[in-house]
Structure 1
Amino acid sequence: METTDLKDFQKRLADKVGQVLVKHREEVTDFLDPFLLNVAFKYLVKIPDIKFASFGGSKDTERRRIVICPEYLEPEFNMAKITILELTGNIDYIKINHGDCLGSLLGQGLKREKVGDIYPTERGFIAILSNEVAQFILVHPPQLKGLSLTPQILEADNWQPPFKPGKTIKTSVASLRLDALVASGFGLSRTKVIGDIKGGKVKVNWQEINNISFQCKEKDVISFRGQGRVVIAQIGGETRKGRIAVELLRFK
């Protein structure tokens, strides 16, 4: 994230805190990725006279909204104004991925910050949305690869995120540089990934990294726009050829 964007986010967050303290009512942020959640938590924990908590639809969701309350109120899920929608259609013979599902929503005019986690399923996908855009999607459902979808609301207490299987990749790299791990994890040439990293298509732990020499570490999450994500599950020892053994987990 650019420095100016981060400052804008911090200002908006401070404005919400100000509203809570002046008007004595709860405020809720947009959906935030884990990087921005961490930034927000570090700021909010220093503010007296408030309470806050994050909600995303389940305990395992990555993108979440933060509810900020006066200190005499307890943040609750209903304050986060979240709706869980399941969108299904006749897509049995079509391969879809996370990007396809997100694109179908953004194609309806939704802003990314109003969309939480998305889970592709065999018949469509599940999307966690802010209440206001969920109502819009119920009336104006998107299409997925040209096929119609039917939306329905899932009760927050009665659903679980679908299991997302990952592909294990055991390989070796010359170093733990970002470009080396991206190339190995996604099966691409170093030449291509260098351009994509410098072009802002790669994030490490939800923060955009443009430096191809960035040193990665175990448990880092590498997201590559249009390709999916790779988790560095394990970093092993040195091979006979002087390379570093790594175990990666790739998700599409």
Structure 2
Amino acid sequence: MIDLKEILINSNYKKETEELINIANLAYKHWETYWTGFNSTYVCEEILKDFENLNDFKFFIYGGFSSSQRSRIACFRGDNIPEEDALKSNFPAQGIKINGNFLFDNATQDDFRSLLIKNGVNQLKVGDIWTIGDRGAQGIIDNLDIEHLDEKIFYLRDVKVKINVVGIDELQIPSGRSKKLVNTVEASTRLDAIASAGFRVSRTKIIERIENGMLRLNGSKVNKPTINLKIGDKLELENKGFIEILNLEITKRERWKVKLLRK
């Protein structure tokens, strides 16, 4: 069994790491594959860095398609490794289609995710959600949390929507988000300034999201937009991906040249 306290002590993602430890113990005991709930793919990758030296276990990150922004971690014994194709074909999730007319009432990924959570779906059971023009959204959801959703009618604000559960292969999978270098000049190295530039979200909205706990700095939630950042810091904004600060350089006019990697 894994020593829970030893691994958790330096983890930036204690809740997620504890879940992985618990399923790893189950995988070791029962010789079966177990999956965590959905977390951002970046967080999954960061968590597994603490497990690199555990030869008794192997892990696999997957979210339903290759470029998913939210994924689950599969854990299995190192002496009982399943084929990758088998892991994907037995992935414990299905697709959902949320159909409605949003031509005059635009809705975002956050709106559709909130609709699911409001109607009884645990947020750890929801994978990627993406919009389909003005016709609604599609996404990935845990296959144990869908019975009460299939063929049901709900309302998102004043728009009537119908949810259908389908196979993942029936979805219009979105194109992957490629890595991108972002160069900007800012008046300061404050969290709100750099996050606004990196995620391309207005300063007002980024401050609101920071204060609502939707942004993580190096794995930890922060609610103060005035924090000064440094090279190497990593930011994660819910449903917007990740940015890493590659360089900060003061200019002659005492402004900051900022180089970011967005992914």
Task: Return the TM-score normalized by structure 1.
Answer: 0.75
Corresponding residue of 2:49? 42
Superposed displacement of residue 238, structure 1: 5.5
What residue identity is the alignment partner of 1:223?
L
Corresponding residue of 1:121? 132
Supply the distance in 2 between the matched residues of 1:39 and 1:164 (Cα, whole angstroms): 19
Corresponding residue of 1:16? 23
Work out whether 1:132 is the aligned partner of 2:144. Answer: yes
Supply the distance in 2 between the matched residues of 1:106 and 1:65 (Cα, whole angstroms): 18
Q: Per the alignment, in what secondary structure is the counterpart of residue 179 of structure 1?
A: helix
Task: Return the TM-score normalized by structure 2.
Answer: 0.72
Supply the distance in 2 between the matched residues of 1:51 and 1:158 (Cα, whole angstroms): 29
What residue identity is the alignment partner of 1:174?
A
Corresponding residue of 1:72? 80
Corresponding residue of 2:4? none
92, 100, 106: which one aligns with 1:95: 106
What residue identity is the alignment partner of 2:127?
G
- 117-126 vs 143-152, greater mean Cα deviation: 143-152
Correspondences of 1:157-196 after superposition (within 5 Å)? 159-161=172-174, 172-182=185-195, 185-188=200-203, 193=207
Superposed displacement of residue 17, structure 1: 1.1
Corresponding residue of 1:84? 95
Superposed displacement of residue 113, structure 1: 0.3
Superposed displacement of residue 85, structure 1: 1.6
Supply the distance in 2 between the matched residues of 1:139 and 1:182 (Cα, whole angstroms): 39
Supply the distance in 1 between the matched residues of 2:15 and 2:258 (Cα, whole angstroms): 38
Per-residue displacement from partner, 1:180-214 (whole Å, max 9, x unpaired)?
Answer: 32455533369x93x86466343246642345324
Question: Would the alpha carbon gap of residues 97 and 26 (structure 1) be closer, same or farther in structure 2, given more than 3 Å must change?
Answer: same
Superposed displacement of residue 101, structure 1: 0.9
Corresponding residue of 2:3? none
Superposed displacement of residue 40, structure 1: 3.1
Tell whether the 8 Å contact from 1:206 to 1:223 is kept in structure 2 after alignment: no
Question: Would the alpha carbon gap of residues 163 and 92 (structure 1) be closer, same or farther in structure 2, given more than 3 Å must change?
Answer: farther
Per-residue displacement from partner, 1:128-178 (whole Å, max 9, x unpaired)?
Answer: 11111233321435432232223241443874215789xx99853123221
Q: Per the alignment, in what secondary structure is the counterpart of residue 200 of structure 1?
A: coil
RMSD: 3.9
Superposed displacement of residue 79, structure 1: 3.3
Tell whether the 8 Å contact from 1:81 to 1:130 is kept in structure 2 after alignment: yes
Unaligned runs of 5+ in 2: 1-9
Tell whether the 8 Å contact from 1:65 to 1:80 is kept in structure 2 after alignment: no
Corresponding residue of 2:68? 61
Supply the distance in 1 between the matched residues of 2:52 and 2:15 (Cα, whole angstroms): 19
Identity value in percent: 19
Paired residues, number: 243
Unaligned runs of 5+ in 1: none
Q: Per the alignment, in what secondary structure is the counterpart of residue 39 of structure 2?
A: coil
Correspondences of 1:207-226 after superposition (within 5 Å)? 207-210=220-223, 212-215=226-229, 217=231, 220-223=234-237
Question: Would the alpha carbon gap of residues 188 and 7 (structure 1) be closer, same or farther in structure 2, given more than 3 Å must change?
Answer: closer
Superposed displacement of residue 65, structure 1: 0.9
